[in-house]
């Protein structure tokens, strides 16, 4: 077991670094090479690396660290400033996929209940891919970068609530109205409100005294170690209240971004993350590609990939333009919202568990999700270059 994991990690690290070098040479985002490394090494082609439980754990830590770093590198004041555009982008980025993907699914003779759930799946956004590309082009700490980050977080929270509603109405007893009205609403919203209230109180009263205390401890890399502890604590807490673990990691990174130890923590966590965990995360997405799905569901995959790409791109663009971002900024935001990645993969897995998605359709949807994830970095690159003076 350990030897298999070590061999997989060796292949992943060498493969992603070589792919990243090649991508730099030909002028495309390095994350594309890392995603394609997963396709090459995985079951779709060479079959040298399998998506085992151990790889999944490394990948999950990778995406948590990636979003923690995104928080550390963000500007809280800018995120507040661009809250309205973020909400508008998230709103259009959820509505358009819900309408068009659900309608398309029904045209493929998928019953309405399952079709609506497919719309929910493609409403999700995975900002982790976009974060990597925006960082690569030094656009993370800009208006468009802040809106993309903010919209993706709002999108994640909203889609989690929609999925919770969907699951409850599927499994709930319609006769127990009072339970649905009180208990269910508390389960749906109460814990999340408490989480953000607790985060606010922690930042206001506890964080700075705690960091001052940590600074007095004489130990190797104590600030970085404590930063990681906070990252993992808030990732666990956000997962416990029914949200994605990356939301907690992002927000605690955002709070730490205002502390004087920010740059030391960011540098040290980057070394750990980009050496091992983040490459495993990107490769793990490519490992889910199954070429067999193309045989039976070719047309569905093509239609879903096109619609999934266009609805987020257009939704992000419209939401940005309505809140007075310029055309190029709006295009970058729209492109940044296209990626579905791990968020959509988690929801599609839930759909399979709920019996809404059969095995063949599951594979086809996973392929469509990964294809949109591959397109997103290329669209961001195109949008950035389009707005850059020659």
Structure tokens at 6: 């070590």
Q: 113-158, pLDDT tens digit by residue?
A: 889 999 999 998 887 888 888 888 888 889 999 999 999 889 888 8
Segment 14-23 shows an average pLDDT of: 95
Q: Where are the chain's structural domains?
A: 1-387
Q: 210-221, pLDDT tens digit by residue?
A: 999 999 999 999
- Cα dihedral value 256, 334, 124, 280, nearest 10: -60
C-alpha distance from residue 193 to each of 91, 186, 199 (Å) = 20, 10, 10
pLDDT of residue 241 exceeding 90, the answer is no
CB distance 82 to 146 below 8 Å: yes
Closest by alpha carbon to 1, among 60, 54, 57, 56? 54
Q: 253-283, pLDDT tens digit by residue?
A: 999 998 888 999 999 999 999 999 999 999 9
**What is the residue whose two structure tokens read 């309405």?**
112
**What is the residue whose two structure tokens read 């007095």?**
216
pLDDT of residue 176 exceeding 60, the answer is no
Q: Does 1.20.210.10 match the CATH number of domain 1-387?
A: no
Cα angle vertex 335, ends 334, 340, to 5°?
A: 100
Q: 32-88, pLDDT tens digit by residue?
A: 899 899 999 999 889 999 999 999 999 999 999 998 998 898 888 888 899 999 999
As a whole number of Å, the end-to-end CA separation of the chain is 53
**246 compared with 268, residue with greater pLDDT:** 268
Segment 183-195 shows an average pLDDT of: 77
53/261 Cα distance (integer angstroms): 34
pLDDT of residue 379 exceeding 60, the answer is yes
User: In the 8-state DSSP scheme, what is residue 289?
Assistant: -
pLDDT at 173: 46
**What is the residue whose two structure tokens read 């999925």?**
163
Contacts of 70 (CB under 8 A, 6+ apart): 127, 128, 131, 135, 140, 149, 250, 253
263/233 Cα distance (integer angstroms): 21
DSSP string, 304-366: HHHHHHHHHHHHHHHHHHHTT--HHHHHHHHHHT---HHHHHHHHHHHHHTTSS-HHHHHHHH
pLDDT at 24: 87
pLDDT at 130: 84
191/280 Cα distance (integer angstroms): 32
Closest by alpha carbon to 41, among 370, 285, 365, 209? 285
Crossing angle for the helix pair 143-171 and 292-322, nearest 10 degrees? 120
pLDDT at 56: 93
Q: 321-365, pLDDT tens digit by residue?
A: 999 899 999 999 999 999 887 778 878 877 777 777 877 788 889
Surface-to-core class of residue 388, CB atoms within 10 Å of its CB (0-12 exposed, 13-18 middle, 19+ buried): exposed
pLDDT of residue 181 exceeding 70, the answer is no
Structure tokens at 68: 């923690």
How far is C-alpha 348 from the chain's CA centre? 14
pLDDT at 170: 60
pLDDT of residue 390 exceeding 70, the answer is no
Q: Percent of the chain scored above 70 by pLDDT? A: 94
CB distance 119 to 101 below 8 Å: yes
**Per-position b or e across 345-360, b if 16+ CB within 10 A of its CB:** bebbebbeeeebbeee
CB distance 167 to 354 below 8 Å: yes
pLDDT at 246: 87
pLDDT at 178: 45
């Amino acid at each position: 077991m350990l030897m298999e994991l070590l061999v997989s990690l060796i292949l992943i690290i060498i493969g992603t670094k070589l792919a990243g070098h090649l991508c730099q040479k030909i002028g495309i985002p390095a994350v594309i090479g890392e995603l394609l490394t997963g396709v090459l090494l995985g079951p779709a082609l060479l079959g040298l690396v399998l998506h085992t439980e151990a790889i999944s754990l490394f990948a999950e830590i990778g995406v948590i660290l990636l979003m923690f770093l995104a928080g550390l590198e963000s500007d809280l004041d800018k995120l507040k400033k661009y809250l309205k555009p973020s909400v508008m982008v998230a709103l259009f980025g959820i509505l358009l996929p819900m309408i068009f993907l659900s309608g398309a699914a029904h045209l493929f003779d998928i019953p309405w209940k399952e079709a609506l759930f497919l719309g929910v799946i493609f409403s999700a956004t995975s900002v982790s891919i976009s974060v990597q590309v925006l960082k690569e082009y030094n656009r993370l700490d800009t208006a468009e970068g802040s809106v993309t980050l903010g919209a993706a977080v709002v999108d994640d929270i909203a889609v989690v609530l929609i999925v919770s509603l969907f699951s409850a109405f599927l499994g709930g007893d319609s006769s127990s109205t009072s339970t649905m009205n009180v208990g269910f609403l508390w389960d749906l919203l109460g814990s999340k409100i408490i989480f953000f209230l607790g985060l606010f109180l922690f930042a206001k009263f506890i964080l700075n005294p705690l960091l001052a205390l940590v600074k007095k401890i004489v130990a190797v890399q104590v600030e970085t170690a404590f930063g990681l502890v906070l990252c993992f604590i808030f990732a666990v807490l956000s997962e416990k209240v029914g949200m994605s673990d990356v939301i907690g990691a992002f927000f605690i990174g955002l709070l730490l971004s205002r502390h004087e130890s920010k740059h030391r923590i960011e540098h040290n966590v980057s070394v750990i993350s980009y050496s091992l965990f983040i490459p495993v995360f990107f490769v793990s997405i490519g490992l889910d590609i199954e070429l067999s799905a193309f045989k039976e569901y070719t047309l569905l995959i093509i239609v879903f990939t096109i619609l999934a790409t266009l609805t987020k791109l257009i939704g992000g663009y419209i939401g940005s333009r309505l809140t007075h971002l310029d055309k190029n900024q709006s295009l970058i935001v729209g492109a940044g919202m296209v990626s579905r990645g791990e968020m959509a993969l988690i929801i599609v897995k839930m759909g399979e568990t709920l019996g809404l998605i059969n095995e063949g359709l599951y594979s086809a949807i996973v392929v469509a999700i990964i294809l949109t994830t591959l397109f997103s970095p290329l669209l961001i690159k195109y949008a950035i270059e389009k707005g850059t003076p020659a």
